[in-house]
Amino acid sequence: MFRTKRSGLVRRLWRSRAPVEGDGEADPGTHGSGGCCMAKTPKAGRSNPGTEAELKALTHSILKKIKEKHLEVLLQAVESKGGARSPCLLLPSKVDTKVGQPCYPLPLLLFKVFRWPDLRHSSELKRLPCCESYGKMNPELVCCNPHHMSRLCELESPPPPYSRYPMDFLKPPVSWLTPSTNRHVCVSLSPDSQALQESGERAHWCMLAYWEEKIRVGRLYSVREPSLDIFYDLPQGTGFCLGQLSSGNRSQLVQMVRAKIGYGIQLSREADGVWVYNRSCYPIFIKSATLDDPASRTLLVHKVFPGFSIKAFDFEKASSLQRPNDHEFSQQPCTSFTVQISFVKGWGQCYTRQFISSCPCWLEVIFNNR
């Protein structure tokens, strides 16, 4: 009996589903489920054989109703784990599917199968700006591409004791050099970017500095696009490529962490603030003045797991921030308009690294407050 192309795509998709913790198939590098250190997310338990068989049958029946070109889009997104740019997968939004007792909308079921087995409700999700359904309310067709979504990093839970630490902001250099404004991975200063800078057109909304421990590597990168990918190695796409930045005295630890940056992060300026989406396979750690209580004397380090997004900066909140009791704030200018992001390694009282300047690879995001 001959197998159709559609059935072959369906089988490949099912083999590429997100692993459930405890089923023996989980890849420790993918982090299909998990949560923020600041918000406890229920872990996915060992899958029930009956529910697993029911889920497989339901998923196969739904996928077989989808057009082949849409299956190919879904397969490209799932197999590349979001590394390859894939178009939206527009499907009817008002289709409910039942697995055991719960009844899920079609998009939510696909997100559970291919990204987050512990996902329970659409309120846990945030759509990425690259998606056609971004910002649209109740459309007839909604994008079901699992890699056009992210999990929200909630901050309501009380912080663990280790996350409080004194400010250790490193002052940016006086001379800021801005690289090319195009979307390519090169980071050299071009005549076009100099002309833009002199004319005052397309003003940057933030600048990026990449650090390896206490050493800044490369020039400051000026960001003018609404969204920017920052990565070490990305199959497709453009942005700020950390892999191309050279340094002569890298330690073994720095080289190891650099290799783990992978797809990195996506930094996007949206209507309500600046969001950071963790595209890599390892956690990132973020410190921002607008993530914390304005009355607090110190800032918190927020751990963001793979696949999660966090609103890292709020321009309005930063403009009104005043910390008269914070000695570190009185010493450092414009600290409220700076965010620090460390890849893989955290810092704080319960880590061997007390300050971010001891982290192997980290970013300093300096926002334009004008």
Q: What percent of the chain is predicted at pLDDT more than 90?
A: 42
Q: Please measure the distance between the N-terminal and C-terminal CA atoms of the chain and give it in whole angstroms.
A: 68
CA angle 319, 284, 292 (to 5 degrees): 30
- Residues 277-298 have a mean pLDDT of 86
Measuring CA to CA, which residue among 31, 5, 6 is closest to residue 18?
A: 31
Q: Can you give the pLDDT at residue 237?
A: 75
The fold for domain 5-14+51-152 equals Smad3; Chain A (3.90.520)
Q: Decide: 232 and 261 in contact? Cβ < 8 Å.
A: yes
Q: For 18-73, what is each residue's pLDDT tens digit? A: 887 654 444 444 444 434 444 444 444 445 555 778 888 888 888 888 899 999 99
**Of 169 and 343, which is predicted with more confidence?**
343
pLDDT for 321 equals: 74
Sorting pLDDT into bands at 50, 70 and 90, what band is 295?
Answer: low
Give the helix/strand (H/E) hosting 206: strand 206-212
Q: Residue 150: what pLDDT?
A: 96
Computed over every residue of the chain, the mean pLDDT equals 77
**Mean pLDDT lowest among 13-17, 147-151, 182-186, 343-347:** 182-186
Residue 299: predicted pLDDT: 77
301: alpha, beta or left, given left = phi > 0 and alpha = psi -120 to 50?
beta
Each residue of 209-246: pLDDT tens digit?
999 999 999 999 999 999 999 999 887 778 999 999 98
pTM: 0.79
Q: Which residue has tokens 């799932």?
A: 78
The CATH code for residues 206-367 is 2.60.200.10
Instruction: Please name which of 283, 280, 299 lies closest in space to residue 291, comparing C-alpha atoms.
Output: 299
Distance in angstroms (rounded) separating the CA atoms of residues 15 and 117: 14
Q: What is the pLDDT of residue 29?
A: 45
Domain boundaries, the chain: 5-14+51-152, 206-367
For the chain, where are the alpha helices, taking DSSP H only?
A: 5-15, 49-63, 68-79, 106-114, 191-199, 252-261, 315-320, 327-331
Dihedral over Cα of 305, 282, 234, 110: its sign = negative
Closest CA to 120 of 85, 151, 157, 163: 151
Q: Is the pLDDT of residue 108 over 50?
A: yes
